[in-house]
Amino acid sequence: MFIKTLHFKVFISYLILLLLFLACLFPFVANSVQQIVLSSMNDRADELIETLEAVEDDEALVHVLKAYRHLLFFHMSLINDRMEVLYDSHMQRQLGVYASHVFDKIPPDIVQALSDDVGCSEERSPLLGQKLLYLAKCFDFHDKRYILRLAFPFEYIQELKKNFQGGFLVLSAIILFLFSALTVIILYTFMGPVRQIIRAITPYNEGAASFIPEIHIRAYLKDEFSDLAKTFNSLSQHIQQQIATLTHERNEKEITLQSLVEGVVALDSNMNVSYANDMAIKLLALTSDAIGKPLASLGAAESLTRAYELLHSCRQHNKCVSSELHIELGGKKMHLNIIAAPRENQGAILVVQDISIHYRILEMRKDFIANASHELKTPITIIRGFAETLHDNPELDHNIVREITQKICHSSHRMTKIIKNLLTLADIENLRDFSLQECAVINLVENCRHALISLYPDAVVTIDMQSESECSIQADPELLEVALMNLFENAVKYSKENANITVHIKKHEGHLQIAVQDRGIGIPERDLEQIFQRFYTVNKAESKRKGGSGLGLSIVETIIEKHFGSICVTSEVGVGSTFTITLPENTSPHVS
């Protein structure tokens, strides 16, 4: 059985001490009983001797002893200096003064009394047939030496010893019980604060609680335990404040790292992953349980292999190293820049940057230059060809010359329009400051409708106002009119007969929506995602025939983005298209 409580330990300690105490005390108790009997016999002997010394003769001595026979519990004998027994309280007859009874052998107690005045011994009495405890004491009477001898049955002494020892055991047990109970009560009372402290700390120690609650000690206990509880409370508060601060800092750092567009991976000295943000997990194709595992064991992907090589190199040379990597991820070609930097604690930091956008911008620039060159090259080639024809054939017929000059003018106008649109697009993209004012959307749409009808009288424009209140936004009216006019003109150009355009205006969740719907030829689904790209046309021949440059929708998208809005399109071939512009209603855009 294990000793688990302080109370039980104290009880066991007291029990052991009691047993040791009793083992040491038992011999002393037995001797004490005999000493008490001897002391009592000695006192009685002194009283008798004092009484005997006051009488006149030897006969009177015997009469006095006979008188005391019934008053004492002891066997009495009076012996003279010739070792004659003058009186014995248990003899059936009186010996008399002149009795001649003499001991065959002088008992040890008498021998000792003759030399030391007092003697004692344990002897068996032939007269009584039992063992007695004798006390002999000498005294002088009328210049003669007498010995008063008292005896007490030894079996009575043994019985007294047993009773005394039994009583002593019972008394000791009672005292031990009372003392133990009192100790337990005192300990229980004094250990109450300790139990409170343990109860408060145990849930935190076992992981069932995330903090140590405040420990309340009863107000009347103003002792070291109360001070200990106050210390624990103060320490707990300090720890909680530190934990809260560290947690806040960790959360702030984690939020910051999670908000980065770069992937960040932290590794310890054993190259085990200690942290990885979502972007790193995505770019490096890590698993969600990568934390705590060696980077080398997370897979054989090309990105992970290159990252491990860079980490090994940066730790070996103790400097930052980087490398570009071109991979396919999720079916898309991606360009990554991986940077490995050593840490002071022998760990490392891995930063993964997605630089695909830079490559796409380069590709877009190349495509733009190629498309712009191609679009400008065509009219220049036409103009040059017809000019050379006129130069080399001055005798051409007048009608042919007129036809050629008309084509030269048409190509010149087309080239001028392309250049104008390119300049407009560049101006809008680089526009830093533009005039913001409150504009009534209905007025902007009406202005565009009138301008369109003046160019295309057969066109029909219907305005559907779905909001009861007036719709207005903070915008640049000239730029928005350019965007709306481009959509109106496209609707006219790509309608088979007289254009029929409907403009829907409504408010939706804090935004203003302007939808331009036509009943034209429509756009194939495969082209919907690309029509806002520069120089992209669904049908190049049809676009060139109608004077299109492939830049109109790019201009519209750029203008809408400048107003922090968005544009989307839905279309069905043979039915028509709907371009929907969404602009913030009450928020003024901040010019970047």
CA distance 22 to 25: 5
Asked if 415 contacts 423 with a C-beta cutoff of 8 angstroms, the reply is: no
Asked if 503 contacts 514 with a C-beta cutoff of 8 angstroms, the reply is: yes
What is the chain's pLDDT, residue by residue, as a tens digit (592 residues)? Answer: 333 466 667 667 766 776 777 677 666 766 777 788 888 888 888 888 888 888 877 778 778 877 777 666 678 888 888 888 888 776 644 444 434 455 667 888 888 888 888 988 888 877 677 888 888 989 888 888 888 888 888 888 778 777 877 777 787 778 777 877 777 777 777 666 677 777 777 776 777 776 666 666 664 556 666 677 677 777 777 877 887 888 788 778 777 777 777 788 888 877 788 778 878 777 777 776 778 777 767 766 777 777 778 877 887 788 888 888 777 766 677 778 888 888 776 778 888 887 777 777 666 666 566 656 656 666 788 788 878 888 888 777 888 888 888 878 877 776 776 677 666 666 666 655 566 778 888 888 888 888 888 888 888 889 888 766 677 787 888 888 888 888 888 888 888 778 888 999 888 777 888 899 988 888 888 877 778 776 666 665 555 555 556 677 887 888 888 788 888 989 888 888 899 999 887 654 444 3
Sign of CA dihedral 296, 299, 300, 301: negative
Cα–Cα nearest to 307, from 289, 291, 325, 293:
325
Name the pairing type of β-strands 437-440 and 460-465: unpaired
Both tokens of 453, joined, read 């009808």
Helical axes 154-190 vs 6-52, angle rounded to 10°: 150
Under CATH, to which class is 7-161 assigned? alpha beta
Cα–Cα nearest to 44, from 195, 169, 151, 176:
151
Asked if 225 contacts 193 with a C-beta cutoff of 8 angstroms, the reply is: yes
Cα–Cα nearest to 417, from 559, 555, 542, 560:
555
Question: What is the maximal distance between C-alpha atoms in the chain?
Answer: 205
Asked if 22 contacts 169 with a C-beta cutoff of 8 angstroms, the reply is: yes
CA distance 579 to 568: 6
Strand order in the sheet with 118-125: 85-88, 75-79, 144-153, 130-141, 118-125
Side chain identity at 144, as an amino acid letter? Answer: K
Radius of gyration of the chain (CA): 62
Does the domain formed by 260-354 have CATH 3.30.450.20? Answer: yes
- CATH number corresponding to 359-426: 1.10.287.130
Cα–Cα nearest to 161, from 28, 285, 59, 283:
28
Asked if domains 7-161 and 260-354 share a fold, the reply is: yes
Q: Where are the domains of the chain?
A: 7-161, 193-244, 260-354, 359-426, 431-584
Asked if 452 contacts 461 with a C-beta cutoff of 8 angstroms, the reply is: yes
- Tell me if residue 587 falls in helix, strand or coil: coil
The correct CATH number of 431-584 out of 3.90.1180.10, 3.40.50.150, 3.30.565.10, 3.40.50.2300 is: 3.30.565.10
Per-residue buried b or exposed e for 283-310, using 16+ beta carbons within 10 Å of the residue's own CB: bbbbeeebeeeebeebeeeebbebbbeb
- Alpha carbon dihedral 10, 13, 18, 19, in 10-degree steps, equals 150
CA distance 525 to 493: 19
- Tell me if residue 331 falls in helix, strand or coil: coil
Residue found under tokens 């910051």: 256
> Exposed, middle or buried, 340 (CB in 10 Å: 0-12/13-18/19+)?
buried
